[in-house]
A and B are shown apart, each in its own frame.
Chain A
C-alpha cells in the first residue's frame, strides 16, 4: 500500500544525492518502484486518474520498465480546475505555463511538500553547473513578474527557482503603461559597474534577454563588462526562430553584450509541469537527466523509446510532485537521444538535445472542424 510519508521518505535520498552519478540501469531501478507507488497513490487520491491508469493497455503493477507506465499528455493540465491530488486547502501555490496569446496556459498546483522538493530539485541541478556559492542575481525581467502570492507564471517560477543562489536580486526591466517591456539602462549600468569583477548570476527568458536587453544595448554599442557573469536562460526558441536567431547566434550575442565568454551562457529546458527539474546544457551541448527524474524520447509512430541518435516526442518523468499527477508526462516537444551513458562532460545517464516544439500539422484536411456547431449544448442523455 502506498502512502505519502513512505513515498516522501523514498524521494529524500534521491534528492540528496549527486544528480548525475547513476548509469541508466541503476537509474531505472532506482525510479521504477517509486513511480509505481506514486501511481498507486495518485489512484487512491483521484478517481479520474484511477480511471485513466486502469484503462492503460499495460498493467503498471507488473511493468518492468518505466517506458511502460501510464503517462499523461501535458495538455491535460490545461483543465480547469487543475488536476490535483491534494485538497484545495493544502494548495500553497499554482504555477502557470507561459502561453501564447489566446491559448490556455497549463496550471499545476503545489502543496508545501512539493514546493519544497521543487526548490531542492532545481538547486541540486543548477549547483552541479554553476557551483554552490551565492552571488548577486540579475533578473532580466520586471519585479512584477515575481509578484502575486497565489498564482505564479512560468517566468516567475523560473526566477524564483534560482533565488537560492542569490545574495541580492535586481530586476533590470520595467513595463510601460501599455505593458511593453523596457530596459532600465541606468540601473543596469550601475549594476555592471558595481559588480564588474564579481561572479554574477543572470537569468531571463530567452526571448526577453534577446529582445529587451541584447538588442537594446547593441543598438547603443554598450558592453556591460561582466566577464564573470553566468547567464542562464530558458523558455524556448519559437519567437527567436522567427528572427533567425540560432542558439549559437544567441550565445555569442549575449556574450558580446556581457563581455564574457559564450560558454558562460547556459540554455536550460524546463516546463512548469515538470516541477523541480530543469535540463541545462552541459559543455558538450547535451542535456542530462538527474537522479530523481527521467526522460524517454518516444517514436511518434509507435510511442516506443527511440534508439540512440533518433528523434521523437519527449516524455519527462519525475518523482518529486505529490500534489498533482506530474510523474510521467508526454510533452509536445521533439528531442534527439544522444547518449545512454558516456557524455564526455562526465555526467552519467541519459543525455539528449532539444530539437523543437512538435510542429503543428497543417489543419487543412477536409474532415477538420475545430468545434462542432451544435444547435443545443444540452446533454439529453
Chain B
C-alpha cells in the first residue's frame, strides 16, 4: 500500500486519523480562493504521467479548473465567498464554515470519484476521510500523486486521509461513520443503503448520490436529417463511451420518435459507424468477466425474445446496439450496450419516468417542443436535461443537489452593537435620520 492510501485494520486507526483531520479543519482557515488556485495547478498536472489512462481523467481535469468551480462556488455560497470574509444580509453577517471532517464513500467503479467527492468538501474548507474502494486504489494513488507534486507545503494534503479496507469490515465502516461531521455517499442501492444505516452522530450531514439511470431521446426531425445525423451519432457514442457506460449519467436507452419517418436504417448505419470509430479511438483496456457475460447475454436475449428485434455488435464485447420498439424500458446492461427503441411519442416515454432517472440527453428540432419535454421530464423526477453529447458535463446542482453547500455551515452573526451593523444598515439609518430631521426641527438640532 502507498503512503498516500493507508490500508487500515483497526477502528482506532480511523478514530485517530479523524481526530487529526478535525484539528486541522477547525484550527486553520482555508479560503476557497487558495483551494481553487491549487486545484488549477492539480488540473494542469493531470496531463500525462500515466493519468491519461484513468477513465474519467479528462473530465476531472476540466472539473478542477477554476473556470468550472468558481461559478459553482459563487452560485452555491454567494459572490463574497471567494474572499473568505463575511457577507452582509440585512442586519446580519453570513459566512460559510466547514462542517469539520467529511467522510467519503465513493462508488466502486468510477475511478475518479474519490477525488471528485473530496474536491467538493475541500472547497468548503473541510478535511476529508475517504474510503477508497479496493478496485480504485491504483487510479486514486496516481491522481493523488499529482496533487502531492503541486502541493509541496501540504496545504490540502494535510486535510486528506485516504484509507482502504474491505467493504465487509463493518467495524471499520462504523468507525468511519462515528467520526465524521458530514458524509458524501455514492453508489448503488445496496451500498448506499448500507452506508446510510451506519451509526453517524446525530449532527452528521449526509449527501447521498444513489443509483440513477439516464436516457437519451431524439425526435424525427433530428435523427432523420442527413446533414446532422452523423454528428449526433458521434455525440451519442461519446456519451456511451465515457465511464464505460457505468456512470449515472450514461445513456442506457436511446428513444427515437418515429414522427412519420419509417426508415431508421440510415440512422442505424451511421450510429454503427460512430460506435466503431469511438471504439477505435478509445479501446477498452480491461473488462470484468461478468460484464462480458452480461453483454453476451443481453445480445442473445434481445434477439431471442422477439424476432422483430435487431442488433449489431462486434465479435468482442466492445460495443452493442440493440434495436426494437416500444416504451418498456429494458434492464440496463452497461458496458457500451445501447438499446435503441422506436416510439410514437416521446411524451409517452417520459410519462413512465420516475425518480430513478437522473439525466435526459435530448436532440430535438423544435425549441418549444424541447421546452415542453424538459418540463415534463423535470416533473417526473429527472434532474438534468442536457444536449446529447454533453450528458457527462456536470455542474452543480449535481443530482438536483448542491455539491458544496451541504458540507458547510452558513453561520449567521447578528452584531450586538448597532454601530457594528452593516454599511447598508448605517446608510439606511442616516437617510432615515435625515428624513426625520427634515420633518422635525428639534431632532435636527439635537443631531
User: Which residues of A does B touch, CB under 8 Å?
Assistant: 47-52, 55, 57-58, 68, 71-73, 75-76, 79, 83, 300-304, 312-313, 330, 332, 334, 358-377, 379-381
Contacts and interface: CB of A to CB of B under 8 A. Distances in A.
A71, A83, A363, A373: which has the most chain B beta carbons within 10 Å? Answer: A363
Contacts of B133: 362, 364
A366 B248 contact: yes
B55 to A, nearest CB: 12
Given A52-B300, A300-B287, A75 B315 contact: no
9 contacts: A51-B304, A57-B313, A71-B296, A73-B297, A300-B287, A313-B289, A361-B288, A365-B187, A372-B331
Contacts of B179: none
Contact of A79 (B189, B214, B304): B304
Interface in B175-231: 186-191, 209-214
A48 B213 CA distance: 29
Contacts of B291: 361
Interface of B: 107-110, 113, 133, 135, 167, 186-191, 209-214, 243, 245-250, 252, 284-293, 296-297, 299-301, 303-307, 309-317, 325-329, 331-332, 334, 341-344, 348, 351-352, 354, 356
B186 A366 contact: yes
A131 B306 CA distance: 47
A369 B356 contact: yes
Contacts of B304: 48-49, 51-52, 76, 79, 83
Contacts of A72: 300
A359 to B, nearest CB: 7
Contact of B212 (A47, A300, A367): A367
B398 to A, nearest CB: 11
Quick one: which of B287, B293, B348 has the most chain A CB within 10 A?
Answer: B293
A-B pairs, 3 with minimum CB distance? A381-B326, A358-B289, A365-B109
B298 to A, nearest CB: 9
Contact of A368 (B188, B316, B343): B188
B356 A373 contact: yes
Nearest to B192: A364
Nearest to B209: A366
Contacts of B344: 380-381
Contacts of A75: 293, 297, 300-301
B316 A381 contact: no
Given A300-B289, A303-B292, A367-B250, A376 B352 contact: yes
A375 B354 contact: yes
B316 A301 contact: yes
A347 B297 CA distance: 33
Contacts of A330: 293, 296
A198 B337 CA distance: 58
A369 B247 CA distance: 11
Nearest to B328: A379
Contacts of A359: 288-290
Contact of A300 (B292, B315, B325): B292
Contacts of A365: 107-110, 187-188, 211, 246-247, 334
A379 B327 contact: yes
A57 B190 CA distance: 37
A368 B306 CA distance: 25
A148 B291 CA distance: 37
A304 B315 CA distance: 9
Given A51-B304, A301-B316, A358-B290, A366 B110 contact: yes
Nearest to B215: A372
Nearest to A52: B303
A313 to B, nearest CB: 6
Nearest to A332: B293
Contact of A367 (B213, B284, B316): B213
Given A72-B300, A380-B348, 13 more contacts: A47-B307, A48-B307, A55-B311, A313-B292, A359-B288, A364-B108, A366-B188, A367-B249, A367-B250, A368-B246, A369-B211, A377-B328, A381-B341
A367 B284 CA distance: 18
A94 B286 CA distance: 38
Nearest to A313: B289
B187 A364 contact: yes
A28 to B, nearest CB: 19
A381 B306 CA distance: 14
B211 A368 contact: yes
Nearest to A49: B304
A369 B213 contact: yes
A191 B304 CA distance: 50
Given A51-B309, A76-B300, A303-B292, A366 B315 contact: no
Contacts of B135: 362
Contacts of B247: 365-367
Contacts of B311: 55
A370 B189 contact: yes
